[in-house]
Structure 1
Amino acid sequence: MTSYMDKSQQPILGNNTVDPETPKAGQWRAAMWKFLLFSALGIALFIIPFEWDGKVTILLGVLTDTLQTALGGFVSYITMALVTISFIGALAVKVLKPNLSEGSLAKKLFDIEWFWLAIRFLGMAFVWMIFLQVGPEFIINRNTGGVIFEDLIPVLIPLFFFAILSLPFLTDFGLMEFLGTLASKVFIKLFKLPGRSAVDAMSSWFGAASIGLLVTMQEYDKSFYSQREAAVIATTFSVTSIAFTYVVAKTIGVDNNFVFFYLTIALTGFIAAIIMPRIPPLSLKPDTYHSGKSMLDEGIPAEYTTYQWAVNRAVTRAHSMPSLGKVFKRSVHNLFDIYLGLIPVTFAIGTIGLGLAEYTPVFNWIATPLVPVLEWLQIPEAAKAAPAMIMGFADMYLPALVGKSIESEMTRFIVGAASITQIIYMSEVGALILKSNIKLNVLELFLIFILRTIISLVVITSVAHLLY
């Protein structure tokens, strides 16, 4: 212990722009407790799974469910208020052109481009149409806008409330530095990513895809990830939670085989995570940073063991954090940014996507080239399976809803597993990526979705043929 404490007196090796000093003596002990306690709280909230009320979940999930129940029908009014304020505030800034100070909360929330203003208008219009049940059936039907209004948003509002406010415990008090240093060599070799992205993956696997994505967005905004790294992590590691995977398995009728179902998804996701960063469009993304320069250095000095350096970096990061009051204030700003920026986008894009799936043959047309591929892979009822898989681009739950009518259990197994490993769905993950500073457009997201689908099909079908 003595020799280790001696080493801790050396300055941390960071980048050329941000080089905080390693705390010493009493400061070291205080920072160590800060790292241990707040990181443990983050792990308890986001990562540790346990059984609650008959389902596997995490503490964040319990808090979300509790708040959702407490809000009840009132969440509808909260939703309408958020999307209405979101549009009117942005419109006022565009028309009145007030002199908003750079970096102010008002500028961050309402000073947006015309495209996003139009999206916010659509989101607001759709919300009021659905609530009043006035307008085209394409929008107000229970299976289109109703899914967003009654099923998705009532979960997202309480989820984001707890997730955004408590996310700093997971990301800002040394846990990312500690796990990132330990996992850096493996992640760089396998996935061409920094080791700290392991935290993004864990928070998705045990929490929710949106949670892992929120971690990625914040890390990119802080310049801990390059544009390429953030794009890879967002489209590769933002997998859905174990709990939702079981919901999909139950809906599509393969929950009796859930262990193999989940292991297949894990294997498929691992293989896709190795391949996707090495092919376009992700491989073509530049290694540029949001602030113009990297704030990350995962190199390990020769005089330190990997574990010692992991602790050193974690404690130093905890020591450099501001007061909890300042952390909370920043989190509240991020919460309003998500509420006013994401909710309208989710309504606009999600409703249109579900409407196209419900009322048009668009997904059948798009899926036509996929049918011979499924037949070549010897998947029964290929003509029914192909559109179900393509519908996953609109919403992850759609393939399960459509695929449950397929008679072949093997085909249902493949459709359900593929819907989880496709990752990109516009009703939530896609909308969140588009709203973020990570520069991925709709066409790129669709191409990534198709590539992931092809990779997933090969792996999942191979396993399915062994099982069935």
Structure 2
Amino acid sequence: MENLNLDVKDLIDDPDMQSAELDEIKLSRSKTVKGLILFLVCSIIGIVVFFGSVTHADGSSETVFSFLYNSFLNLFGQGVYWILVLLIGLNFILHVYCKYIDKGKHSNILFDVYSNDNVVHTVLFALGFFYVLVYSLWLTAGVDAPELIVGDMTGGNVIPPVCKGVFGIIIIGAIFMPFLLNYGVLEIIGVLLEPLMRPLFKVPGKAALDATASFVSSSSLGVLITNRLWKNNVYTEKEMVAIMTGFSAVSIGFAGLVIETAGCGKDFAKIYFISFIMVFLVEIIMVRIPPIRWKKDVFYNGKEQTPEDRKGEAKYTSKTIPTGCRRAVKRAAIARGVPKDIGLSLKDSVVIMPQVLTMISAIGVSAMIIAEYTPIFTWLGYIFQPLLMVCQVPDAAAIAPSMPVGLAEMFLPVLVMNGTAATVAISYQARVFVCLVSMVQIIFFSETATVMLATKSPIKFWELLVCFLERTIVAIPMAAVAIHLLF
């Protein structure tokens, strides 16, 4: 590729432009200054919003991003539930119209969104609307509703914390994600971590950003960032699935709640650090076995990834940091501009939001109903009991049902364990073990797995089930070693 001058208009924010192409661009002095200023200002805003923290008067703290989306949701009060009803109801109506009435006669953005839907989507969309409508009528208007739907362990564990939360995450995330993704931060992270991430996890160094966003902010945010970068041709199908299913871990705040509920709060730092390490150890194995191994090395635009693309910056040199800085400045210099980037980001998010919220409501509440009112997960627990016994995990029979129930909601394992503890004394080691495994399973249908499916990521329902099972089986011996050596 010949040397390019930034004044060529068709260079402006080419989302497909890879690192090698950025290296070929030659900036004028004025464009370099502009790029440097944009890189510094926008990157600082993005880093502060997603990774900075706010301390409250009572001494508690949360990320700036959490503070912003919670403040946004608080503006609506209980009216936010009727916004959910409107969005989820609109999604169902549009699905029915596009799928069964229009049938593709008028090709437009709506048809593109719903064209691949089938009768399963019809059932899920109807179910999601029914759940959120019933819950909203019960909560805001006092209408009688079955405990099966509105109970604290079913609808109450999905609609307020997850559906409502993801609504805020999508809107506020759409506003601030461009600052983090489009103005150079990815180039710096990519160059610095490529020599580590590529050989260990077979993904670009930029994937570290997705993992960090999940740990400090929200697992849903990590999935959404990964999906956005996949559609911008930063990741291939295989890389995207590996990152999404492997690095979208629960946030520090939620992990703290899980650990406290299990009665292990005094060792929070140790348990969380071990789970952090386990996430990456598990992923080293996951990317090398099916179904992730079977995914294609193809970008969203259909371009096949070459061995040269995967090679990247293979090792650290004296040019590593300067190269990252130059690419960051160039990326910022060719960006569309903050207002346009935010507008496009909001447009993309608004298009996917109704389906995401619907799927969370439908699958999340249904999964919680199954977990709470049927013995299915208890039966599935028997599958894991022999492995727990081989690994000499204390109270193996008592905690076995906690292993599969994380598929429904990652908070359930400790709740199921606590319920068992009412009749069976469960040792401290066993409690720590349940915390560790639940925090590295990652795939749960009350949130992350549903967001993955709703954003039409290149992974099927059955593949998510397989990934969950594999992650659990791989995590069990690791967690067992940890509790035997450190607790």
Same fold, judged at TM 0.5 (above): yes
Q: Does 1:124 align with 2:129?
A: yes
Give 1:401 deviation, angstroms.
1.8
Tell me, yes or no, if the aligned pair for 1:15 and 1:294 is still in contact at 8 Å: no
Tell me, yes or no, if the aligned pair for 2:363 and 2:445 is still in contact at 8 Å: yes
Paired amino acid for 2:99:
K
For structure 1, which runs of at least 5 residues remain unmatched after alignment?
A: 1-7
Deviates more, 1:64-73 or 1:206-215: 64-73
- Quote the residue 2:236 is aligned against: 226
- Quote the residue 1:67 is aligned against: 72
**Aligned equivalents of 1:185, 1:300: Cα separation in 2:** 6
- Quote the residue 1:457 is aligned against: 476
- Quote the residue 2:280 is aligned against: 270
Secondary structure of 1:57's aligned partner? strand
Give 1:137 deviation, angstroms.
4.7
Give 1:109 deviation, angstroms.
4.5
Aligned residue among 38, 41, 53 for 1:37: 41
**Aligned equivalents of 1:457, 1:65: Cα separation in 2:** 35
Deviates more, 1:42-51 or 1:257-266: 42-51
Aligned residue among 420, 432, 437 for 1:413: 432
Give 1:272 deviation, angstroms.
0.8
Q: Superposition pairs for residues 315-326 of structure 1, below 5 Å?
A: 315-326=329-340
Secondary structure of 2:194's aligned partner? helix
Tell me, yes or no, if the aligned pair for 2:297 and 2:304 is still in contact at 8 Å: no
Q: Does 1:253 align with 2:267?
A: no
- Quote the residue 1:149 is aligned against: 159
Aligned residue among 461, 464, 471 for 1:442: 461
- Quote the residue 1:76 is aligned against: 81
**Aligned equivalents of 1:235, 1:229: Cα separation in 2:** 10
Give 1:180 deviation, angstroms.
0.5
Give 1:171 deviation, angstroms.
0.7
Aligned residue among 177, 180, 185 for 2:187: 177
For structure 2, which runs of at least 5 residues remain unmatched after alignment?
A: 12-16, 139-143
- Quote the residue 2:375 is aligned against: 361
**Aligned equivalents of 2:69, 2:428: Cα separation in 1:** 33
**Aligned equivalents of 1:399, 1:188: Cα separation in 2:** 33
Aligned residue among 48, 53, 61 for 2:52: 48
- The verdict on how the C-alpha distance between 1:151 and 1:437 changes in structure 2, with shifts beyond 3 A counting, is closer
> What does the per-residue CA deviation read over 1:238-297, in whole Å, with 9 as the maximum and x for residues that have no partner?
011111111111111111111111111012112112111111211121111211116978
Deviates more, 1:245-254 or 1:20-29: 20-29
Secondary structure of 1:404's aligned partner? helix
Paired amino acid for 2:172:
F
Paired amino acid for 1:38:
C
Aligned residue among 203, 223, 226 for 1:193: 203
Paired amino acid for 2:442:
I
Tell me, yes or no, if the aligned pair for 2:223 and 2:244 is still in contact at 8 Å: yes
Deviates more, 1:323-332 or 1:178-187: 323-332
Q: Superposition pairs for residues 199-348 of structure 1, below 5 Å?
A: 199-293=209-303, 299=312, 305-348=319-362
Tell me, yes or no, if the aligned pair for 1:226 and 1:289 is still in contact at 8 Å: yes
Give 1:49 deviation, angstroms.
4.2
- Quote the residue 1:87 is aligned against: 92
Paired amino acid for 1:88:
I
Tell me, yes or no, if the aligned pair for 1:170 and 1:176 is still in contact at 8 Å: yes
Tell me, yes or no, if the aligned pair for 2:39 and 2:184 is still in contact at 8 Å: yes
Tell me, yes or no, if the aligned pair for 2:82 and 2:136 is still in contact at 8 Å: no
Tell me, yes or no, if the aligned pair for 1:109 and 1:336 is still in contact at 8 Å: no
Give 1:140 deviation, angstroms.
3.7
**Aligned equivalents of 2:274, 2:313: Cα separation in 1:** 35
Tell me, yes or no, if the aligned pair for 1:261 and 1:417 is still in contact at 8 Å: yes
- Quote the residue 2:14 is aligned against: none
Tell me, yes or no, if the aligned pair for 1:410 and 1:464 is still in contact at 8 Å: yes
Deviates more, 1:61-70 or 1:408-417: 61-70
Q: Percent identity?
A: 28
- Quote the residue 2:388 is aligned against: 374
**Aligned equivalents of 1:19, 1:212: Cα separation in 2:** 28
- The verdict on how the C-alpha distance between 1:154 and 1:311 changes in structure 2, with shifts beyond 3 A counting, is same
- The verdict on how the C-alpha distance between 1:323 and 1:399 changes in structure 2, with shifts beyond 3 A counting, is same
Q: Does 1:396 align with 2:410?
A: yes
TM-score using structure 1 length: 0.91
**Aligned equivalents of 2:162, 2:312: Cα separation in 1:** 42
Secondary structure of 1:195's aligned partner? coil
Deviates more, 1:453-462 or 1:346-355: 453-462
**Aligned equivalents of 1:202, 1:464: Cα separation in 2:** 25
Tell me, yes or no, if the aligned pair for 2:19 and 2:327 is still in contact at 8 Å: no
Deviates more, 1:232-241 or 1:137-146: 137-146
**Aligned equivalents of 1:204, 1:231: Cα separation in 2:** 15
Secondary structure of 1:193's aligned partner? coil
**Aligned equivalents of 1:245, 1:54: Cα separation in 2:** 18
Give 1:163 deviation, angstroms.
1.2
**Aligned equivalents of 2:283, 2:273: Cα separation in 1:** 15
Deviates more, 1:210-219 or 1:375-384: 375-384
